A and B are shown apart, each in its own frame.
Chain A
Amino acid sequence: MSRQATITHTNTANRGIGADVTRPDGIPKVQGSFAFSSDLWADDFLWGHTLRSPHASARIVSIDIGPALATTGVHAVLTAEDVPGQLNFGLEHGDQPVLAANQVRYVGEPVALVAADHPDIARRAAEAIVVYYEVTEPLTDSEAAPQAAPIHPDGNVIRQLNIRHGNINATGEVTVEGTYEVGMQDQAFMGPESGMALPDEDGGVELFVSTQWLHVDRSQIAACLGIAEAQVRITLAGVGGAFGAREDLSLQLHLCLLALYTQKPIKMVYSRDESFLGHVHRHPAKMWYRHHATRQGRLVKVEARIVLDGGAYASSSGAVIANAACFAVGPYKVGSAHIEGLAVRTNNPPCGAMRGFGAVQTCFAHESQMDKLAVALEMDPIELRLLNALAPGDRLITGQQITGTFPVAEVIRQCAEAPTPELAPTQDHRNLPGGSGRTTEATDTARGEGFAVGFKNLMFSEGFDDFSSAACRLADGVATITCACAEVGQGFVTLAQQIARTELGIDEVILAPAQTATIGSAGSTSASRQTWMSGGAVQAACNKVRSLILADISAKWGVHLDGLVLRDGLICTLDGQQQASLAELTANRAYEADVVYRHAPTEALDENGQGNAHVSFACAAHKVIADVDPDLGLVRIRHITTAQDVGRILNPTQAVGQIEGGTAQGVGLALMEEIVLDNGLVRNASFTDYVIPTTLDMPDVTIAAFIEEPEPGAPYGAKGIGEPPTISSSAAVAAAVRAATGLDLPRIPIRPADIALS
């Protein structure tokens, strides 16, 4: 293991790579002064509102917009008939109507749009639209979906992916079997969907919106509006958070449709309740597993069947099931595997990207299985994991060899061996199950410890042409970086500046707004990819500028390129004898460069699910101490320890933030976060009833170690760190609750009744 800095450029101001640079939006967000996309304003704008389907499955017999149009203050009421271009959109498949035309397939599906002078007028006008629905029985059981009558012309199977690896008839001396279930989690980001669209004189539209991927929004919007991509100009507006929920279009197209129709600026802001209906969620999963091992504990084969409920439309279900299947066995060496992965269509709300992207669901299953196997083998569960841990040079069940760094054993060891702080018996209800409800005394509790490790891929996979674009301009000693990378809280705003400082030896860096008009695509802020991809693009662009400067000075001074360095705002010879100010050098002439950065290409998976489909991998482990009140089924997590494979830390505070936040999201999934569905109806679309962890649910997190083994090919050796904390945390919490109660608990979230009434 190497903790050596790989960086060779000088970082004089100490605000470069590796420094604790604070986020410019951090304090404003805490103080309430940050301008979110819901704070946009323009002269003479109108408010948009969406009429949504109250039914999970129904035929639209007729829509009468007359009463709504007749309302004073209403400027437009639009339905599917008013969509000028393609009627459908979608990230992977264009299967989702901009507005439902004949059929609604989930509760909340947009049916009509209203623009009015006031949000309340728009809302009431939408209520005045008369829609006759012929309600049909919804298809809500994911396991029944493949055989059921198709609910969409594209059929009910969104993607089937089978992985056959090694000898699928192999058997082990010891087998354990289990069936597991994961509920539907919501991203519950800050700042519900909002934005503003303004018509342009050229027939185009300008859109300010909180999103994750400006350019893919643009291509979908342009196609449905029937105009050229260049006529759609998108600028990123203030984002609260995203976690995958902003990767699909929500209100983007609706805003643009209304703006073009009314030729006025349109603003839309979803309420929190509407937000729950307006974006995709984490796929609920049903999983069957059978593990085969030798008596000594070596994994021989894993069989699994994984069914993900994609809901009514495809979104990114195809890629999510690929991850679920590819990483189905966890970061373990397994000679043979037979995995059936299925993403199906139902009349439940659509599911798509969410932090951890398929690996979260299967991690819960494979880690539950590893604990079961340890019991069957009478083996220490940590030993069992270490014995089977993947390492560089090993192959995944897709046949892909791991060529980069992958310190699974080190992550397991560091996390498992880290001492847990003394947790004294407490009288303070805040540290007991039930918290402020005062339900539980220390004597009512049992303690359990749980452990889990998980991994996933970084960047887009399966042959996707994944790239990012960035430009650097150095003038008057100030660097301006242009990149369309969406800042959704992951930290690119600081990293881009840190990178430029490190590469150019200057301190002042301006990050231009993220826009489609000024630069090419940066790709999505997802898949733990932006530090690598857009960070790589920024680094390459800065490098080019540096090379241009070095070439000029080398010629002018007659010094070899290797004898020159940029630091402290100067260009100088290595001995410092000769130097010039970069500000003066770039006062009359700007140095500029732009680049498109790509990661190493990947391949598609073949019919057996084999192939070099992924770029790089990262893993994390969690150890959880939980106190449980078995009589009431209440849980207080007392402490969490984690270790993570990070490649290299570029900003320590931001790394800690990602790990704590990602862990909290995993705690939420394990214990409370679930969209409750009743025959396709969402029963808890509000923060009153969709609960996320509070400070009394989240304990302190000790980061036992950042395992810094620089990843070859990654800028500065850094791996994405946003997703791994969310993968293993849920599984570790569930394991701790099992340890405390002795119950099977095959489903997350674990509800109080699952413990108390079993």
Chain B
Amino acid sequence: MNRVVLPLSLQEALSTLTADPDATVLAGGTDLMVEINRGMRRPTSVLALAKVPELRRWEITPNRIHIGAGVTYTEIMTTEIAQAAPALAQAARTVGSPPIRNAGTLGGNLGTASPAGDTLPVLATLNATILLQSANGQRQLQLDEFMVGVKRTCLEPGELIIATELDRTNGGQEYLKIGPRNAMVISMAGVALVADLDTRSVRCAMGSVDAGIPRALKAEAWAAERIDWDNGAAIDPAVAQEFGQRVSTECSPIDDHRSTAAYRRHAIGVLAARALNRVCSPKRNGHV
């Protein structure tokens, strides 16, 4: 390896990257170091973002939340971000172990762009905008524009993820995740769900069951019509059940060493039904 640069400002980071567009960007290193140790990546130079103050900031406004790319999972879980975006905090809590959450960042989860990235379904349901910047200027993308495939993004040479902006919503939010053990696991299936009381809509996105982060658009619309928005978002448990089944048809899981497509699809259905039940209030039988 030739060199490691530790810039102290965003300006410096961007000019370093312009001069050396092949530099490998290092945030918390919890994905990158694993790949380097496995010999899957051999960086020639490294741009380490740890000391770039602009990336470590977050700001909460009445409608939106701005989270710098270098904000860690621990910060997401333990600061006012957790109240502003509860599902994001829930997702952060499921990531790895305390040391991983202390080091790992939201920007890194995006940079890796794995369908198993735990924050990504939440970002999809909170209408996230990903802010990219290079010496030439800024781009703002939706998650599905940013993530173009399994571990593939549309980041261009010289470009950095600098922040993510999300909606603050009025109503319940949930993130549920299944792994092969009860903590510190890669997701086998995950569901993020938001019931937005202001827009009277439901948004539901899935992890680990597709090449990207699919939204269950049809099931969302179907459920929104069946929620009693005037009565504390009440829902008939049977509707939640059917919602789960509908959601599970809007993904395309595969068989691999972690699980089977059949289990993943089944699990998505159960998780989506439970998530909807949690964000809504139970409606008594017969009451429509």
Q: Which residues of A contact B (CB under 8 A)?
A: 120, 123, 271, 273, 430, 433-439, 441, 444, 631-634, 636, 671-672, 676, 678, 683-684, 686, 688-689, 691, 693-697, 751-753, 756-757
Contact = CB atoms under 8 A, between A and B. Distances in A.
B260 interface: yes
Interface of B: 34, 37-39, 42, 90, 93-94, 97, 174-188, 190, 256-260, 262-263, 266-267, 270-271, 274
Contacts of A693: 181
Contacts of B258: 684, 689
Nearest to B96: A436
Given A271-B37, A752-B259, A697 B182 contact: yes
A439 B39 contact: no
B77 to A, nearest CB: 11
Nearest to A681: B257
Which of A273, A686, A688, A752 is most buried by chain B, counting CB atoms within 10 A of its CB? A752
A670 to B, nearest CB: 12
Nearest to B175: A438
B183 A757 contact: no
A329 B175 CA distance: 47
Contacts of B257: 676, 678, 683-684, 689
Contact of A438 (B90, B256, B262): B90
Contacts of B97: 694
Contacts of A444: 274
A672 B180 contact: yes
A753 B181 contact: no
A117 B259 CA distance: 41
A634 B258 CA distance: 14
A98 to B, nearest CB: 25
A434 B178 CA distance: 6
Contacts of B37: 271
Contact of A696 (B183, B187, B260, B274): B183
Given A437-B177, A438-B175, A676-B257, A752 B263 contact: yes
Nearest to A752: B263
Given A438-B177, A683-B257, A433 B267 contact: no
B45 to A, nearest CB: 16
A438 B275 CA distance: 10
Given A753-B262, A757-B263, A694 B178 contact: no
Contact of A435 (B183, B187, B267, B274): B183
Which of A435, A441, A684 is most buried by chain B, counting CB atoms within 10 A of its CB? A435
B180 A752 contact: yes
A270 to B, nearest CB: 12
Given A752-B259, A753-B263, A691 B94 contact: no
Contact of B38 (A271, A430, A632, A756): A271
10 contacts: A271-B37, A273-B38, A438-B177, A439-B178, A632-B267, A632-B271, A691-B185, A694-B97, A753-B259, A753-B262
Nearest to A755: B263
Given A437-B176, A438-B177, A634-B178, A753 B183 contact: no
Contacts of B94: 436-438
Nearest to A438: B176
B274 A691 contact: no
Which of A441, A632, A696 is most buried by chain B, counting CB atoms within 10 A of its CB? A632
Given A271-B37, A436-B93, A756-B263, A636 B182 contact: yes
Contacts of B183: 430, 435-436, 694-697
A437 B177 CA distance: 5
B181 A694 contact: yes
A339 B187 CA distance: 42
A633 B181 CA distance: 11
A743 B256 CA distance: 25
Nearest to A123: B39
A444 B258 CA distance: 24
Contacts of A671: 181
Nearest to A686: B38
A603 B17 CA distance: 73
Contacts of B182: 430, 433-437, 634, 636, 694, 696-697
Nearest to A440: B274
7 A-B pairs closest in CB distance: A435-B182, A683-B257, A753-B263, A696-B182, A437-B177, A696-B183, A676-B257
Nearest to B186: A688
A613 to B, nearest CB: 39
Given A632-B271, A634-B178, A694-B97, 13 more contacts: A271-B37, A435-B181, A435-B183, A437-B94, A439-B177, A439-B178, A684-B257, A686-B38, A688-B34, A689-B257, A696-B183, A753-B262, A757-B266
Nearest to A698: B182
A300 B259 CA distance: 42
Nearest to A637: B182
Contacts of B38: 271, 273, 686
A435 B93 CA distance: 11
Contacts of B42: 120
A563 B90 CA distance: 72
B266 A756 contact: yes
B39 A752 contact: no
Nearest to B97: A694
A436 B94 CA distance: 5
A497 to B, nearest CB: 35
A631 B270 contact: yes
Given A438-B90, A632-B267, A683-B257, A752 B181 contact: no
A501 B270 CA distance: 61
A632 B259 contact: no
A417 B271 CA distance: 38
A688 B38 CA distance: 12
A550 B262 CA distance: 75
Contacts of A697: 181-183
Contacts of A694: 97, 181-184
A678 B274 CA distance: 34
B179 A437 contact: yes
Contacts of A683: 256-257
A271 B34 CA distance: 11
A439 B271 contact: yes
Which of B258, B259, B262 is most buried by chain A, counting CB atoms within 10 A of its CB? B258
A435 B178 CA distance: 9
B261 to A, nearest CB: 10
Contacts of A631: 270
Contacts of A696: 181-183
A394 B185 CA distance: 48
Contacts of B190: 437
Given A689-B186, A694-B182, A694-B184, A753 B260 contact: yes
A491 B34 CA distance: 33
Contacts of B185: 437, 691
